Amino acid sequence: MLVFDEIHNAVIADSSGFYFIYGHGRCDKTFIWNELSSAIWSRRKIILNFESSIIASLLLPGGRTAHSKFSIPITITDESTCNIKHDSLKAELLIQNSLIIWNEVLMLNKMCFEALGQTLRDLMSVTDQYKTHQPFGGKVVVLGGDFRQILLMISKESRHDILSSSINSSHLWLFCKVLKLHTNMRLLMSSLGQQNGEMKRFAN
């Protein structure tokens, strides 16, 4: 589980990291999210799980939509930031957080992620000025999606405008490491469990 190990190690080392997990539906990204959540929570660290739609957020432990939790403006521009005050509980939660998982991001405008990135840099600069210059304020942020599925839709805009608004057209993408899933991890773990059970029965 190289994807799990790389992200998990970045969180444990308290280092920065920006990842995009790319995989089709059968690769079961949700399984990776759940495993990471359990591992990080077991170390008493804070992890925030978000989806880009209300229905999908129900699949993640503690899942919420990113717009509601991050207070991202509905009408967004390239100068927007999240509506989070420095002395608020939301600000403290983001400062103390160790990992942000944000799934199905391709249906959102890149300015949503840039708004969060600017907000995190502002918040983290209070504790460490160096983090002002790091993507997402030096937090470990993991995005997920599948470029072969439905992408961002913008009314009355051309194909070029739509592609230009996607996350991989953002200046943040230069700092992103793409990790690919090729295997359905849930089926793999189930298969390994069955094999172990058969070996135990054979040994007995």
Domain coordinates of the chain in residue numbers? Answer: 2-203
Structural contact between residues 62 and 50, judged by C-beta atoms closer than 8 angstroms? no
The answer to whether the beta carbons of residues 118 and 132 sit under 8 Å apart is no
Low-confidence ranges of the chain (pLDDT < 70): 1, 24-27, 52-65, 149-157, 183-204
The continuous run of DSSP H or E covering 51 comes out as strand 47-51
Class of domain 2-203: alpha beta
**What's the pLDDT at 33?**
85
Q: Is the pTM of this model over 0.85?
A: no
Query: What is the structure's pLDDT at 162?
Result: 73
Q: Which long-range contacts (CB under 8 A, 24 or more apart) does 35-42 make?
A: 35/1, 35/4, 35/185, 36/4, 36/7, 36/8, 36/99, 36/101, 36/142, 37/61, 37/62, 37/101, 39/4, 39/8, 40/8, 40/11, 40/98, 40/99
Q: Tell me what pLDDT residue 170 has.
A: 94
Q: CA Rg, the chain, in Å?
A: 18
pLDDT at 60: 44
Categorise residue 136: left if φ over 0, alpha if ψ from -120 to 50, beta otherwise. Answer: left
